[in-house]
Structures are given as structure tokens and as C-alpha cells.
Amino acid sequence: MTTEIEQFKSEFFKALAHPLRIRILELLAESDKNVNEIQTILGSEGSAVSQQLTILRAKNIVIGTKEGNRVLYSLRDPMISELLLVARQIFNNHLVDTITLLDKFNAPTKEVNKKS
């Protein structure tokens, strides 16, 4: 049986499960931006950015505030910045572990190559 919190977590992480959405969130963690700014920075089509922002808004991950004829997007919860940072640290830890494993795996090969 799935609890409400498990369902929330599942839906939340599904919303994050797209590279463009992650990049948008990383940009918004730096500062609030409108669609044109995000599009320019990412070099992505406006329709793609708008589509991803719609998904993030639907999941209450970002909010849009109307300013004149533009909508300024921001993170709904500043802890999302921390979540992205933790995810990056986990990724880096995995890279370090992988590099260490590869170094151990390749160590005998290095020794053999030195003798040749």
C-alpha cells in the first residue's frame, strides 16, 4: 500500500526526471528568470522550455509571477536548490568510486605495460 508521502515523492521525482527540467531548475536556483532568458541561456527552443515549465508548474516545483507582459519563474521552495546540490554530490561520489574501481582494475595492466 502506497502512502501519500510515497506517492508525493514518486510524482515529485518523476517531474525531475528530464534533463531539460533539471537544467531549468539549476538556472532558477541562481535567480528568477523568464522564458526568453531561460531559452537564451540554454539555446533551446521556446516551446520546449515552455513545455517543461508547464510540467514543473503543474507539480508545484516552480511558480510563475506575472510582471507586465512576461512571467517570471522561480523555485517554489528554496530547498530544491539544496536537493540539486546533493544530487550533484551523489553523482560526484559515484564518479570517484568508479574512477577508484577502474584504477584498481587497470593497475595490473599498468604494471605489465611498464615491463614491456
| Mean pLDDT of all residues in 21-50 | 94
pLDDT in tens, 41-77: 999 887 999 999 999 999 999 999 999 999 999 999 9
For the record, the C-alpha cell of 77 comes out as: 521552495
CA distances from 72 to 39, 47, 91, 108 (A): 13, 16, 30, 56
pLDDT reading at 26 higher than 90? yes
C-alpha cell at 9: 515523492
Pick from 36, 38, 43: nearest CA to 25: 38
Is the pLDDT score of 116 beyond 60? no
Residue 112, pLDDT > 70, answer no
Matching CATH number, 1-76, of 3.40.50.1820, 3.30.1360.120, 2.30.38.10, 1.10.10.10: 1.10.10.10
Residue in this structure with the C-alpha cell 530544491, named with its chain if needed = 80
Q: Residue 114, SS3?
A: helix
Taking residue 74's Cβ as centre, other Cβ atoms within 10 Å add up to 14
What grid cell was written down for 66?
506575472
The residue-averaged pLDDT of 6-21 equals 92
* pTM flag (> 0.75): yes
Q: For the residues 37-44, what does the mean pLDDT come to? A: 94
Specify burial of residue 62 (Cβ count, 10 A radius: 0-12, 13-18, 19+): buried
Question: Residue range 3-19: average pLDDT?
Answer: 92
**What is the per-residue pLDDT for 44?**
87
pLDDT tens profile 90-110:
888 888 778 887 788 887 655
Domain boundaries defined on the chain: 1-76, 78-116
